[in-house]
Amino acid sequence: MLIDKTTLYDLSIFDHNEEQSLLHHINFCKTTNGKLWLEHYLKSTLSSIKEINERQQLLQRIIEVHKDWPETISNGSVLMIEKFYESQVENIPSQPNIVSSNFYKIFYTADFSLVRYSVTHFIDFMQGIFTIYQLLNKEKNPAALDVLLQRIRMLLAKPVAQQIIQYKKSKKISLQNILHFGYFIRNNYKQEAQELIEIYSRLDAFYSMATACINYKYSFPAFTQNIVPHFEAKQLYHPLLPTPIAYDITLTPHQNFLFLTGANMAGKSTFIKAVGVSTYLAHIGMGVPAENLQLNFFDGLISNIHVIDNIIKGESYFFNEVQRIRKTIQQITDGKNWLVLIDELFKGTNVQDAMKCSTTVIEGLRKIDNTLFILSTHLYEIGEGLKQYSNIQFRYFETEVKDEQLYFNYVLKEGISNDRLGYLILKKEGVVDMLQKL
């Protein structure tokens, strides 16, 4: 699925403030390298339903064994192993005996301490990754997982590696074993160790994705084989909200355009982003924040949410809105399936101009039957003229006013909102009083 950098940031998949991003929300990695792989997987949508199904199966395999996932591997263990290979130490005896071992310990005290500490972490790492291999090595694994597991099996096949795996941690490691393992790790296992760390980092990222599915109770979406676009969600919600409201939504080729209205702060932007984030998560093979989601494979996802002006180039906000719409039209007329999300179109011009521009754009976009659209606007007046088109459905978020207090229930209803609450918000926040006292 094609997606540009603007859309990734519109949907907060990534954010300049990382703690506000989806990446941060689903990061349960135990290692720094694992997080780098998680970021890679989050940036890389899959190219077919087959790949998506295999990713789902991989995550479900990890979910099945999640409670038994080893705790022995930490970021500190991985960093210590890497440091061991980078550090300069006196040559370790290749066949340590009592004499050579004590000699090394006494005369190369600092080096011996580093070897001992590194070997301890290496034992934890090797035993941890072997446990993961045992947990996941089942019949009929998805191909991507099976490749990683079989590579682990080959990398652990060396006799000394097996000795490390089978070493009883309850037993104090002897001086000779420290140097025996240290020599092997440093001189005969560097390439294998680095590859195992890389494999573990990838599994750590998958573990993080699986953990997010468990912790947040995400469900795995079902992809239809339809060649026409379709999106049907039950109890869909935005994953970054602490207490979200869930929505039901259906978009089909016969009703492929959703015209969304409601007052400011009523929930329009949150709803649009919830649809976008769920679609994106589905296309990287993850579970989604919904009770149930059925959709087809989308070739692209594009948003028009946070448009900015460009002072350096002398480009106005409205000009950049127009350019974003122009780019959108160029992309989605390629005959492929797209999902397009537009929030508050043409905010950068006067109301009359915005109404004419918005109507023109909507009447044109609705003709593209291979694309699903969600468009929000505060220009509810244009809705009546659009009711002549059967493929446009109308939804709104209601706002109640009681004793000049605003109450948002964030419930998606059928119809068009005509709420005009800007002045009330201005008054409620004390701005009107402040101005009157000037």
> Tens digit of pLDDT for each residue in 345-366?
888 788 899 899 999 999 999 9
* 253 and 381 co-located in one domain: yes
Residue 427 within any structural domain of the chain: yes
Q: How confident is the model at residue 36 (pLDDT cuts 50, 70, 90)?
A: very high
Q: Which residue has the higher pLDDT, 305 or 14?
A: 14
Is residue 399 situated within a structural domain? yes
Q: Which is more confident, 405 or 416?
A: 416
Question: Are 227 and 209 found together in one domain?
Answer: no
Residue with token string 């932007």: 269
Tell me the per-residue pLDDT of 227-286, one tens digit each, with 9 for 90 and over.
889 999 999 999 999 999 999 999 999 999 999 998 877 789 999 999 999 999 999 999
| Averaged pLDDT for residues 140-145 | 94
Given a cut of 60, whether residue 314 has pLDDT beyond it is: no
Name the residue among 295, 246, 252, 309 with its Cα closest to residue 274. 246
Residue that finishes a domain, picked among 186, 215, 244: 215
**Is 161 a member of any domain?**
yes
Same domain (yes/no): 195, 267: no
Task: Using the predicted structure, report yes or no on whether residue 307 has a pLDDT greater than 70.
Answer: no
State how far the Cα of 276 lies from the Cα of 302, in Å rounded to an integer.
Answer: 9
Residue 226 pLDDT class (50, 70, 90 cuts): confident
Statement to judge: residues 255 and 204 lie in one domain = no
Range of the domain at 176: 31-215
- Domain count for the chain: 2
Q: Give residue 423's pLDDT.
A: 67
- Looking at the structure, tell me whether residues 210 and 228 fall in a common domain: no
> Cβ(207)–Cβ(28) under 8 Å?
yes
pLDDT of residue 411: 87
CB neighbour class for 25 (10 Å; exposed up to 12, middle 13-18, buried from 19): middle
Element (H or E) spanning 411, and its range?
strand 405-414
Tokens found for residue 19: 């703690």
Look at residue 313 and give its three-state secondary structure.
coil
Q: Does 171 share its domain with 258?
A: no
Are 73 and 158 within one domain? yes
CA 69 – CA 203 distance, rounded (Å): 11
Regarding whether 200 and 229 lie in a shared domain, the answer is no
Specify the amino acid at residue 317: Y
pLDDT at 312 over 80: no
Quote the percentage of the chain above a pLDDT of 70.
96
| Strands lying side by side in the sheet with 222-223 | 222-223, 292-295, 231-236, 247-251
Verify that 297 and 395 share a domain, yes or no. yes
Do 335 and 262 fall into the same domain? yes
Token code pair at residue 35: 């997080």
Residue 434's alpha-carbon distances to 95, 405, 426, 431, 437, in angstroms, are 84, 19, 10, 5, 5
Within a domain: 402: yes
Task: Tell whether 195 is covered by a domain.
Answer: yes
pLDDT, residue 313, reads: 47
Average pLDDT, the chain: 92
At residue 317 the predicted structure's pLDDT band, cuts being 50, 70 and 90, is: confident
Q: Is residue 39 part of a domain?
A: yes
Sequence-distant (6+) residues with CB within 8 A of 389 are: 257, 363, 366
- Cα–Cα distance measured from residue 234 to residue 214, given in angstroms and rounded to the nearest whole number: 19
Are 185 and 245 part of one and the same domain? no
What's the residue count for the chain? 438
- Is residue 326 classed exposed, middle or buried when 0-12, 13-18 and 19+ CB atoms within 10 A define those classes? exposed
Same domain, residue pair 407 and 285: yes
CB hemisphere CA count around 347 (13 angstroms): 14
pTM of the model: 0.92
| pLDDT confidence tier of residue 132, bands split at 50, 70 and 90 | very high
Domain assignment of residue 21, yes or no: no
Lowest mean pLDDT among 12-16, 31-35, 273-277, 421-425: 421-425
CA proximity to 375, closest of 390, 359, 387: 359
- Residue 126's SS3 state is helix
Q: Of 167, 187, 215, which residue constitutes the final position of a domain? A: 215
Residue 233 lies in a domain: yes
* Domain final residue pick, 151, 185, 215: 215
CATH code, domain with 327: 3.40.50.300
Question: How confident is the model at residue 308, as a pLDDT?
Answer: 60
